[in-house]
Structure 1
Amino acid sequence: MENIFIFLFNSIIVSSTICTADRLSNSVSLKIQRSFCFYCGHNLAWFDTIPVVSACILRNKCRYCHTSFGRYYAIFELFYILIGTFLWGTPVTWITGVFLLFLSLEDCSKQSIHANILFPWIGYLLVLHHDAEHLCLTVLILILSIILVKHRHTLGSGDIPVLLSLILSTTPVIFSCTLLIGCCLALFYLLYSQQKRLPFVPFLSGGWVITNLYILFLL
């Protein structure tokens, strides 16, 4: 029964996070309570907003204008719901995952994120993990990130709080694996797409997910 509750709670959190990111990316006020279709503007009924289930029944299309809102939307939503359920036992990791999901969606949409929402979280993590190992790595990454932002222009300023959150929310080894995998994923994407710029947060999130799933199931 407890696992069912955790799964349902994560369904609500993931669905709300996706909705919030969509609204901010499309400059839609969060004060509008009713969910609606971004294509036709029609208000959605409650049975159109059930996480995963509604997307599967409607085949990832709006019930009213029949516009597709993503071929793999239900799979994406279910994937993050399951990740949240698996990570429920470690609250710091779970909360970090929610932030990463939100910021990744924003970064994918407009390559700009509301990184300021991470500052209170970083402050809490500094109180929680203020040992010499974490602090030294934090200072090192902060200096390197500032150099990449100010002088090399190869990193966005919004990526710095994300990196600091990742450092302070886990062990240095896990952070190193996350950063390595994220950079490799980003490099493969650049080689495949032949683009000069990319949203880096989704690749960091991908590295973070892969690392945590490896720890959960293979260690």
Structure 2
Amino acid sequence: MDHPHATHLEHDSHHDMGSTNAMAVSATLHCLTGCAIGEVLGLMIGTALGLGNLATIAIAVALAFLFGYALSTLPLLRAGLGLGAALAVVLAADTLSIATMELVDNLVMAAIPGAMEAGLVNPVFWLSMMLALTVAFFAAWPVNRYLLARGKGHALTHGFHGAEPEGARRFIPDLATSALVATIVAFMLGGLVVSIADELESPSEVEAPSDTGGHAAGVR
């Protein structure tokens, strides 16, 4: 017969594991949205300026870190921390997660033939980006879980979430992870739909053969 105290401890252990897993999912999705914003914006800038792959990737990675840190800093500023203190917490909490995502994301994009050269109005780009971000999520999740289980990573920021803002801090946006993820998914699906529509509407570059011995129709 199981001892009630042992059963209670086992229940608490399962509950803590489930809570840690859920927190790791939320933390990973939060980082992923910032990375996705930076990645897409960086690739748009690189494409618009006609930059090479290395320069474009460098811009995308820099913007991914920038937006990843920014999205994590806002709730801390809203909770009352100063900018310096908030950045110190975010750097300790998010750097390893974002670095893991960026490494995996760019490796996947580089491994898919034609993904980097496809351009923004091409289904190959959007499908490759979706695959790369999905793989990056599953690569970063265990990293965040490991950190959370040891009181590090996003565990450093959770104590500040939910605090009631005072004064002008009330105007700092409170961006829920679910809303950010929904926005990114909608944006990427929109890009995919637009690129597919462009592919379907593009006129064929193959001209029909002429019946006049090589002369264009309508010659005198």
TM-score tier, shorter chain, comes to under 0.3
Greater RCO (Cα-Cα under 8 Å, separation 6 or more): 2
Structure having the higher Rg: 2
TM-score, L = length of structure 2: 0.27
TM-score, L = length of structure 1: 0.27
Structure ranking higher in helix proportion: 2
